[in-house]
Amino acid sequence: MRKFLMGLMVITFCVISNAYGETLEGYFNSGVKYFKSGQYKEAIENFSKVIEIDPNRSSAYFNRAVAYYKSKSNPQLQIADFTKAIELDKYDHEKARAYDNRAISYYDMKEYQKALEDVTKAEKLGMRPDVKFHQKLDKALSGKNQTIFLQTFN
């Protein structure tokens, strides 16, 4: 009887694990597919389901933030998701991408100093400078902030 119960527990665990993995990956892959076809609302829904299943999946937060951006949704949602991705990411190059993208969201919200801070963090983590974005940010910054910008990137 003990072997039977142990076997039943192993089978149940395997079934649950397999269903979890398929569901998680299925939602993630659907989110990517919807995103690539320009169906951002559906992409957001699928990435949200991934986050419900695995709230520590940084790539789901990052991708949902980009889908919010592409759908021209509330920039606050973009920033919240990029921030969560930064918190969860283990690798500098992934954090750099999230900082760089969050800088764009801050720029769109006219929070230029925060955009500057994020661009600086991204570049310190290895992100290559985007000259056009630097120029846009440079024009948006004024007085003292502009001087800080020029000193940071020279």
Q: Look at the block and give the residue holding tokens 């957001």.
A: 44
The amino acid occupying position 39 is Q
> With 90 as the cut, is the pLDDT of residue 154 above it?
no
pLDDT digits (tens, 9 = 90+) for 1-32: 555 444 444 343 333 434 444 699 999 999 99
Distance CA 102, CA 81 (A): 9
3-state secondary structure of 142: coil
pLDDT in the model for residue 42: 97
Distance CA 36, CA 67 (A): 10
pLDDT digits (tens, 9 = 90+) for 39-61: 999 999 999 999 999 999 999 99
User: 11 is written with which tokens?
Assistant: 């089978």
- Which domains occur in the chain, in start order? 1-72 (1.25.40.10), 89-154 (no CATH)
The amino acid occupying position 65 is A
Residues whose CB falls within 8 Å of the CB of residue 89, separated by 6 or more in sequence, listed in order:
58, 62, 95, 98
Say what the pTM is. 0.77
